[in-house]
Amino acid sequence: MSLSRRIEEYIKRLLTETGDAIELQRSHLANTFQCVPSQINYVLSTRFTPSQGYLVESKRGGGGYLRIIKLSWDETMASEAKQVLQNENTGLEQWEVEGMLKRLYEEARITKREYFILKSIISRDTLQVELPQRDILRARIIQAALTALNRSDL
C-alpha cells in the first residue's frame, strides 16, 4: 500500500475515533510516516477536498496546525453538488465523484452494491463522450442518482 494511502487511512481513522474534526501538526505527521512534509499537503489536496466532504484549515508559525473537518452530508451537498446545478458548464471530474461516492458509502448512505454500480457508471470508460461534455454528463448522472435516493417512497 502506498504512502499516500496509508496517510489517508490514518487521518480517516483518527476522524472516526475522535469526532468530526481533528487538529494535528504537519511536521509531526510527516515524521510519523518518515516522509517530507509536503507529502502531507499532497494527501490533503487529493483526498480531503470539499467535494469529498472535507475541509482543511491551517495556521502557520509557532503553534501552527492543520485542522481537518469532516463535513456533514448536507454541507457537502450544499457546497459542491448544488454548485453544479447552478453552474451547468462546469461538470464534475471522475476523481471528484468517486470521492463523493466513497464518502456516501463510508457514511452508509448507499450500499456497497450501489457504490459499485454508480462508480462503474460514472467512469470515463462507460461515459465515452468528448471531454467538456463528459464531465457535465457525469454531474447530471450523479444528481439524478442522488435525487432518486431522496425519494420518500423508498
Partner DNA sequence: AGATTAAAGGTCAATAAAGGTCAGGTGAAA
Partner DNA sequence: TTTCACCTGACCTTTATTGACCTTTAATCT
Residues forming the site for its own copies (CB under 8 A): 1-5, 62-63, 111-114, 116-121, 123, 126-129, 133, 137, 140-141, 144-145, 147-149, 151, 154
Helix (H) or strand (E) holding 128: none
Q: Of the two residues 65 and 105, which places its CB atom closer to DNA in the complex?
A: 65
Shortest Å distance, C-beta 51 to DNA: 15
- Which does residue 108 touch among DNA, its own copies, none (CB within 5 to 8 A, set by kind)? none
DSSP 59: E
Q: In whole angstroms, give the CA distance from residue 116 to residue 48.
A: 21
Cα distance between residue 26 and residue 136, in whole Å: 36
Q: Judged by CB under 7 A, does residue 4 bind DNA? A: yes
Contact present, 44 and 66 (Cβ < 8 Å): yes
